[in-house]
Structure 1
Amino acid sequence: MKNLSFFVLFTVFISGFCLAQAPPMPSALTTTRFVLDKNTVVKDTAGKQYGYQEWSAMMRTGKYIIKQAGIKKGTDGKPEYVLVPLFDANGQPIDRKTKTQVRYITAPRPQSTDPSKPNFVEPAKPNESTQFHPGDIFKPFNEKDIYGEKFDLKKMKGKVLVINFWFIGCPPCRAEIPDLNKLVEHYKDNKDVVFLAVCLDEKYDIKEFIKTTPFNYHIIDDGRFVAEKYGVKLYPTNVVVNKDGKVVFSSVSFQYANPYWLTKTIDEALQVPVANPAP
């Protein structure tokens, strides 16, 4: 519990740079969960291994992300992780796909993200998912949640959909759950807002997990196929779909600005009428 609390704390400090990748497909009989702790093997891209104090301090600078490097044979299936720098030697952001510099700025955390406060400063918009772009049609799916309730998105025109992609073994996914629960509470009386969480894990594991960590979205289990349908590879990923079935917001990772921008986008989407309402 102490290790988990520490991880949540330093995740907040790095303001959204900590991403998680989906774990390998588990066998039909087992579901493996990975948690970063003092025993986690963390190396840099050159293969140098770091101790817990070293890599955790490096993560707090916001200049690195941790990615799973693969399963290390002979260690009971425990994975190794690699520290990946986000900036070059000159301090310029790097696009990891092209190895080229990219133009973005990590804004400092404002004094307040509450618009009712006099010192409110609108936080910088979170990093957008590369899989979802504003104006794109969100391809509908038809799935049931862990309690058997059916969600056919083709029949949900006129609803604002708030969708989260996650898995249990993803620390930043777990870290944002309290904020997402507050979002559900905020819109609990508005039937036009539907919260769906596509989870990669099996139903039994999810139900065990939420006994100690409640997650108030409608959770769709065994959602790897759904995630792959949209090309989601980084977790958590959040998406808001408007009443016309179009993407109006997306973000990746646990970021302090997510609750503000999710709320802002949902409120704006609720004010826009459906373009072609059903007869």
Structure 2
Amino acid sequence: MKPIILIIACFCILSVQAQTSGTKATLNDKSLVKDSSGMIYPYAIWQRLYQTGEYGIRLLNAASDPQEFLLYRFSEEQMKVREASMPKPRESTFFRTGNTLRSVKMVTMDGKKYNLKELTGKVVVLNFWFINCPPCRMEIPHLNKMTDGYKNREDIVFLAIALDQSYELKEFLKELPFNYGIVDGGGYIAEQYGVKAFPTHVVLDKEGKITFHTMGYGAGTVPWLKKSIDAALGPQALGTE
């Protein structure tokens, strides 16, 4: 199986603040992007920051050549408003909302055994990924932050199904911990479900039905994951951070 890597956020990067006060402005690798202190950011850096969904970019000086843009971080309140208004990410082509998954047995790297058919009564969150997938790596810190809000709950299971082998993952996770239960050598599971693009996310409700699924990573991925998890958990989910 040849994996397809998707970064949904990249498709909108060039249209950020395309018009300000009637002036057209296009963001590209030649744009001059700086923060309020005047520090200039290389293209690869500001693009990655923007893709996290925690930063905005607006036109600062249309008359300059190249045009100047301001990179700014959203406040916590701005983030909440922004996340609440984000459109739902497109569904993956591998799953169908309302269906149940064929049961599969999994063992995480820390020795915990799971069987999907035995997880009825729990919300299950699946992430299909692999180490050499840039958007997979990019979303991990944000997924970790999300899971922190559920760390005291026993009715939710987070499983990250990796294509990589344990010896590769052990080295990778030393540098970038991932707070999901890590299933190594999960290529056969991805193939069983027909997953061919990464990352792919799936949320199963307490009856084992698919309530949310998407492929790729964009600014709306994690907020909609959390919305879907909270909806699946029910009223008791209120108050999670």
SS at match of 2:100: coil
Shift of 1:222: 0.3
User: Which residue number in structure 2 is paired with residue 148 of structure 1?
Assistant: 111
Distance 2:176 2:111 in 1: 20
Go from structure 1 to structure 2 and tell me whether the alpha carbon gap of 1:163 and 1:119 turns closer, same or farther (over 3 Å shift).
Answer: closer
Shift of 1:14: 3.8
| Superposed CA offset, 1:156-202 (max 9, x none) | 10000010000001001101001110111111011111100000000
Shift of 1:136: 0.8
The answer to whether the Cα contact below 8 Å between 2:83 and 2:220 also exists between their aligned partners in 1 is no
Name the structure, 1 or 2, with higher relative contact order (CA <8 Å, separation 6+).
2
Is 1:187–2:165 an aligned residue pair? no
% of aligned pairs identical? 43
The answer to whether the Cα contact below 8 Å between 1:165 and 1:236 also exists between their aligned partners in 2 is yes
1:242 pairs, out of 205, 209, 216, with 205
The answer to whether the Cα contact below 8 Å between 1:113 and 1:121 also exists between their aligned partners in 2 is no
Distance 1:272 1:223 in 2: 33
Structure 1 segment 14-163 matched on structure 2, within 5 A: 14=11, 117=80, 121-163=84-126
Distance 2:194 2:115 in 1: 20
Shift of 1:253: 0.7
Is 1:254–2:217 an aligned residue pair? yes
Distance 1:120 1:238 in 2: 18
Go from structure 1 to structure 2 and tell me whether the alpha carbon gap of 1:115 and 1:196 turns closer, same or farther (over 3 Å shift).
Answer: farther
SS at match of 1:184: helix
User: Which residue number in structure 2 is paired with residue 203 of structure 1?
Assistant: 166
Distance 1:114 1:131 in 2: 35
Go from structure 1 to structure 2 and tell me whether the alpha carbon gap of 1:120 and 1:135 turns closer, same or farther (over 3 Å shift).
Answer: closer
1:232 pairs, out of 195, 199, 203, with 195
Q: What is the TM-score normalised by the length of structure 1?
A: 0.57
Q: 2:227 is matched by which residue type in structure 1?
A: K
Distance 1:118 1:222 in 2: 39
Size of the aligned set, in residue pairs, is 175
The answer to whether the Cα contact below 8 Å between 2:9 and 2:219 also exists between their aligned partners in 1 is yes
Name the structure where helix makes up a greater proportion of residues.
2
User: Structure 1: which 5+ runs fail to align?
Assistant: 1-9, 17-52, 61-110, 274-279
SS at match of 1:249: strand
Q: What is the TM-score normalised by the length of structure 2?
A: 0.66
Go from structure 1 to structure 2 and tell me whether the alpha carbon gap of 1:171 and 1:149 turns closer, same or farther (over 3 Å shift).
Answer: same
The answer to whether the Cα contact below 8 Å between 2:83 and 2:223 also exists between their aligned partners in 1 is no
User: Structure 2: which 5+ runs fail to align?
Assistant: 1-6, 14-28, 31-42, 48-73, 237-241
Distance 2:141 2:167 in 1: 21
Q: 1:238 is matched by which residue type in structure 2?
A: H
Distance 1:139 1:113 in 2: 40
Q: 1:200 is matched by which residue type in structure 2?
A: L
| Superposed CA offset, 1:202-236 (max 9, x none) | 00110110000011100000000000000000000
Distance 2:182 2:158 in 1: 9
Shift of 1:240: 0.2
User: Which residue number in structure 2 is paired with residue 174 of structure 1?
Assistant: 137
The answer to whether the Cα contact below 8 Å between 1:168 and 1:206 also exists between their aligned partners in 2 is yes
SS at match of 1:238: strand
The answer to whether the Cα contact below 8 Å between 1:183 and 1:263 also exists between their aligned partners in 2 is yes
User: Which residue number in structure 2 is paired with residue 90 of structure 1?
Assistant: none
SS at match of 2:229: helix
Distance 2:211 2:83 in 1: 24
Go from structure 1 to structure 2 and tell me whether the alpha carbon gap of 1:205 and 1:171 turns closer, same or farther (over 3 Å shift).
Answer: same
